Chain A
């Protein structure tokens, strides 16, 4: 809202420099977005809030200044000399539905000569960003900038049937607006019409045909109060926003229509250089505006703010703001002024008191609120553990948008139906992402392009999908690695990431939570068929892992292989077992090695499955200590070494016992899988 400071002083005679004025305004909730000096006068652009349509005028700001500084008085324009005649029946105003229009006041002025506004009016309008047009249009604009009430002025000779009607548009009606646009109308639009045709979009914009032109002689001035929601929906339907619609959709003061009409007559009398007496006047007010009195306990402002504000101060502040108070002993009955559409609750009154008294009187105090029984946030603890583990292993956290392109969703899941935005920022951000993996690939490519050699990333975020009509969002952990695992220097060799390394990281992530992750071969979108796994714990699916397939890699122009995984965090956290003390086995363990040649056609997966099947009771654990393939090894075979640890729960095993068990075990293993002992 643009405010000309010199003009403002006419309605509250404050004596403040610009800095002090801006501070005063900021203290009561009006921030200055911009300060301009136009023709030697200061113009402030104030940021107003949607609850205070009364701020959208010089009157509104002057009232606030006068309320803040008790020495000042709000002095509106003197209008008592402007007379409105009693209604006559040569013209008429009709409101078809009072729900659309609370009040409609109008008058007719005859025998005008359209002229220029006086220079000071033109300067004032220009300073407020409005182009002077002629004295009639300028008067309606100046009334709006002064007291907030939007007016509309019609060329009376363009009206047919000696009437105006406030009615809804009918289907197939059209109207050429002042901006020369022709709009098609329907029942959503509220119109000002004459006996036969639409004249104007009520509260939004006038029609071209009935507008003021150089030849206008007689005018009809409208000063009305339209229903906010009707104006808002009508303007939205046409994608329009005007000074008038902006005010009406916030709620205008129905009591302001007559003073505004008088002000317009006063301004026109000045530009026309003669007293103007309307030839017709009518005020249709079917739905009087009521501001119910609010009950305010006298101690409530202090209770809600914690500030000590004496009752007399509260009463004085409300009084200066135009609220009427009736003292009822322990409480007041407070009636808001007609222009305060926002005062509906007693808390609103407290804000008024605190705001004018000054928020700087607030003293910080710690609440001694009863503490709820605190819940330990196991999920947060677990997530922090995972994050620390990942950072420790050299993975960097990233955060991406939740939306991506439909193609990116298809990459991660060619089957699923996406959750699509109705009004996205663009195609690249038009669906809610169904996986975090594509985002990680994009980040990997961006970093690799910048020459980063080691790109190890993770992200924690939501993925979205549809189950039938239900929207499902699940929290995921996605991890990826591409490029250099270890940089070469004087003490270590350079190594690239490989799947074995990546899988080991995932396994330790699981072990951090005391979970044994299993990797089951399973074709997954995005991953190479030869290296694609479902990640499971205790037979329950957690997500997927593997090496990214060549196609998506090419799409992101990634040269080196990328290893990635995506896990469902809720499922992962749900699987975490409770810790419970267990005495460790205190009997000594005995180790036996088993080195053998295995046909290449047999995978380690099959070997370990066979070990599990044949597992002797005293085989505590086994590990793969060596894999070797080379000149000394026959073709089609790989040399494996298993380190087997034997231990009994209740006693020390003798060497002979272990030998016997081991021999039998490896013998059966060899027989089942066709292994050759070395």
Chain B
């Protein structure tokens, strides 16, 4: 019984192919479709109606053969409709390719994460590695080894969150402890950046957040000097802000660098030409980085001989860079996670 059915199906298949090839008009195509697939009298339905007559053991085989035939017919008809669609349309069927595209969902990266990625990419190209460290950090790495003596007023500048029941731990106030961790574990030459979250006990306002992001950089080798720091930061700033950016180094103070420098870039918006520039407030300069030569005591604290090696370190706040580059007026907006803001970036 099953063999008989299969033979009939094969016959139907051949005749279908024959008819499809001889079709001249969309009407004929529609008629063929009706003949094959009509629920009531279609060829396929007629085959299916006969399934009842099969013994259970043969039922699946019969069903399978019919389904295979059905799929073949459907695919072939769909293909014919598509390839001859233009002809069909030309004969008056309505098809308007100027209809609007559907708005399919698109997700975006958070502005801070995206800026961080941009900064990482530039330094990766300059041959730096990314080193990530813990956010709950040892006091020793966050301060002592970075040449912040205990009870030194320099610690006041970084209002610190401490943890209940863990006197030796804190939330890192900068990403600089990663310098220490990396130097303790690796021998020069060292070239790393360390991006990530840092925390200071600041009430949130337009320019402060208790939780923020930094990128720290460190390079240690023989013969590294202050001009190398400037060259590196020039390369970065020109790549990130624009090729005409000029850097200004000003003396600064960080316990873990000596000499130290605050780094300003020329205003990428007005180039210093506009007294009412909203970005630089008419000063022509934007403060974006802290930097310096790694303090000899820090190198020594990390097992590196400062008589043999020297290095530089720098750090910048990602939120600040993001706000400057994209004109975001208030830091708090970056932590509200409002999709109307997030949708504009990344």
Which residue of the partner chain, among B102, B106, B197, contacts A394 with CB atoms under 8 Å? Answer: B106
Interface pair A305/B226, CB less than 8 Å apart = yes
Interface pair A447/B107, CB less than 8 Å apart = no
A236 and chain B: residue at smallest CB distance: B151
Nearest 8 Cβ contacts at the A-B interface:
A394-B105, A306-B227, A29-B251, A351-B259, A49-B253, A364-B231, A391-B107, A367-B228
Contacts of A424 in B (CB 8 A): 161
Interface pair A380/B130, CB less than 8 Å apart = yes
Contacts of B197 in A (CB 8 A): 402, 461-462
Q: Mark A462-486, 1 if CB is under 8 A from B, else 0.
A: 1010000101010000000000001
Interface pair A429/B64, CB less than 8 Å apart = no
Interface pair B153/A473, CB less than 8 Å apart = no
Stretch at the interface among A449-457, A533-541, A577-585: A449-457
Stretch at the interface among B7-15, B22-30, B53-61, B265-273: B53-61
Contact of A345 with B153 at beta-carbon distance under 8 Å, contacts A391-B108, A402-B135 already known: no
Interface pair A425/B201, CB less than 8 Å apart = yes
Interface pair A369/B129, CB less than 8 Å apart = no
Separation of A398 and B221 alpha carbons in the complex (Å): 38
Interface of B is mostly: mixed
Interface pair B334/A363, CB less than 8 Å apart = no
How many of chain B's residues have a CB under 8 angstroms from any CB in A? Answer: 95
Tell whether A229 is near chain B: CB-to-CB under 8 Å. Answer: yes
Interface pair B253/A50, CB less than 8 Å apart = yes
10 contacts between A and B (CB under 8 A): A359-B261, A360-B248, A369-B219, A384-B117, A387-B113, A391-B109, A392-B107, A394-B107, A486-B105, A666-B60
| Interface residue ranges of B244-267 to A (CB < 8 Å) | 247-253, 255, 258-261
What is the distance, in angstroms, from A422's C-beta to the closest C-beta of chain B? 4
Separation of A395 and B105 alpha carbons in the complex (Å): 8
Interface pair B249/A367, CB less than 8 Å apart = no
Tell whether B80 is near chain A: CB-to-CB under 8 Å. Answer: no
Contacts between chains A and B (CB distance < 8 A), count: 260
Contacts of A419 in B (CB 8 A): 136, 163-164
Interface pair A350/B259, CB less than 8 Å apart = yes
- Which residue, of A422, A424, A462, has the highest number of chain B Cβ atoms within 10 A? A422
Which residue of the partner chain, among A26, A367, A377, A423, contacts B224 with CB atoms under 8 Å? Answer: A367
Interface pair B337/A402, CB less than 8 Å apart = no
What is the distance, in angstroms, from A370's C-beta to the closest C-beta of chain B? 5
Interface pair A377/B342, CB less than 8 Å apart = no
| Interface residue ranges of B92-139 to A (CB < 8 Å) | 99-100, 102-110, 112-113, 117, 120, 124, 127, 129-130, 134-136
Which residue of the partner chain, among B60, B100, B129, B154, contacts A374 with CB atoms under 8 Å? Answer: B129
Contacts of A423 in B (CB 8 A): 161-162, 201
What is the distance, in angstroms, from B56's C-beta to the closest C-beta of chain A? 7
| Interface residue ranges of A368-393 to B (CB < 8 Å) | 369-372, 374-375, 377, 380, 384, 387, 390-393
**B contacts, CB < 8 Å to A:** 56-57, 59-61, 63-64, 67, 99-100, 102-110, 112-113, 117, 120, 124, 127, 129-130, 134-136, 151-154, 156-157, 161-166, 169, 171, 186, 189-191, 197, 199, 201, 203, 210-211, 219, 221, 223-228, 230-235, 247-253, 255, 258-261, 293, 295-297, 310, 334-340, 342-343, 346
Q: Mark A391-412, 1 if CB is under 8 A from B, else 0.
A: 1111111111111000000000
Contacts of B227 in A (CB 8 A): 305-307, 362-365
Contacts of B251 in A (CB 8 A): 27-29, 351, 354-355, 359
Tell whether A491 is near chain B: CB-to-CB under 8 Å. Answer: yes
Interface pair A677/B107, CB less than 8 Å apart = no
Contact of A362 with B109 at beta-carbon distance under 8 Å, contacts A347-B296, A380-B130 already known: no
Interface pair B250/A27, CB less than 8 Å apart = yes
Separation of A363 and B110 alpha carbons in the complex (Å): 36
Interface pair B156/A26, CB less than 8 Å apart = no
| Interface residue ranges of A571-615 to B (CB < 8 Å) | 592-595
Contacts of B57 in A (CB 8 A): 663
Contacts of A351 in B (CB 8 A): 251, 258-260
Tell whether A662 is near chain B: CB-to-CB under 8 Å. Answer: yes
Interface pair A399/B337, CB less than 8 Å apart = yes
Separation of A374 and B129 alpha carbons in the complex (Å): 7
Interface pair A367/B219, CB less than 8 Å apart = yes
Tell whether A180 is near chain B: CB-to-CB under 8 Å. Answer: no
B2 and chain A: residue at smallest CB distance: A659
Q: Categorize the interface residue count of chain A.
A: 35 or more
Which residue of the partner chain, among A303, A393, A395, A400, contacts B337 with CB atoms under 8 Å? Answer: A400
Interface pair A447/B112, CB less than 8 Å apart = no
Contacts of A491 in B (CB 8 A): 99, 102
Interface pair A364/B296, CB less than 8 Å apart = no
Interface pair A593/B162, CB less than 8 Å apart = no
B293 and chain A: residue at smallest CB distance: A304
Separation of A9 and B162 alpha carbons in the complex (Å): 46
Interface pair B108/A364, CB less than 8 Å apart = no
Contact of A369 with B189 at beta-carbon distance under 8 Å, contacts A397-B110, A491-B102, A662-B60 already known: yes
Separation of A399 and B227 alpha carbons in the complex (Å): 36
What is the distance, in angstroms, from A18's C-beta to the closest C-beta of chain B? 15
Contact of A29 with B252 at beta-carbon distance under 8 Å, contacts A365-B227, A394-B104 already known: yes
Separation of A594 and B225 alpha carbons in the complex (Å): 74
What is the distance, in angstroms, from A625's C-beta to the closest C-beta of chain B? 11
B61 and chain A: residue at smallest CB distance: A659
Separation of A480 and B162 alpha carbons in the complex (Å): 31
Interface pair A399/B228, CB less than 8 Å apart = no
Tell whether A242 is near chain B: CB-to-CB under 8 Å. Answer: no
**A contacts, CB < 8 Å to B:** 26-29, 31, 49-52, 228-229, 232-233, 249-250, 303-307, 345, 347-348, 350-351, 354-355, 359-360, 362-367, 369-372, 374-375, 377, 380, 384, 387, 390-403, 419-425, 429, 432, 443, 446-447, 450, 452, 454-458, 460-462, 464, 469, 471, 473, 486-487, 489-492, 592-595, 659, 662-663, 666, 677
Contact of A359 with B249 at beta-carbon distance under 8 Å, contacts A233-B151, A347-B295, A374-B129 already known: yes
Contacts of B107 in A (CB 8 A): 390-397, 456, 458
Separation of A362 and B104 alpha carbons in the complex (Å): 52
Contacts of A390 in B (CB 8 A): 107
B151 and chain A: residue at smallest CB distance: A229
Interface pair A396/B339, CB less than 8 Å apart = yes
- Which residue, of A307, A397, A425, A471, has the highest number of chain B Cβ atoms within 10 A? A397
Separation of A462 and B137 alpha carbons in the complex (Å): 13
What is the distance, in angstroms, from A489's C-beta to the closest C-beta of chain B? 5
Interface pair B191/A369, CB less than 8 Å apart = yes
A53 and chain B: residue at smallest CB distance: B153
Separation of A220 and B286 alpha carbons in the complex (Å): 51
Separation of A462 and B133 alpha carbons in the complex (Å): 11
Interface pair A432/B230, CB less than 8 Å apart = no
Separation of A86 and B169 alpha carbons in the complex (Å): 54
A439 and chain B: residue at smallest CB distance: B337
Contacts of A347 in B (CB 8 A): 258-259, 293, 295-296
What is the distance, in angstroms, from A542's C-beta to the closest C-beta of chain B? 20
Interface pair B105/A456, CB less than 8 Å apart = yes
A369 and chain B: residue at smallest CB distance: B221
Contact of A432 with B156 at beta-carbon distance under 8 Å, contacts A345-B297, A365-B231, A446-B338 already known: no
Interface pair A371/B211, CB less than 8 Å apart = no
Interface pair A50/B153, CB less than 8 Å apart = yes
Interface pair A366/B127, CB less than 8 Å apart = no
What is the distance, in angstroms, from A529's C-beta to the closest C-beta of chain B? 29
Separation of A677 and B57 alpha carbons in the complex (Å): 10
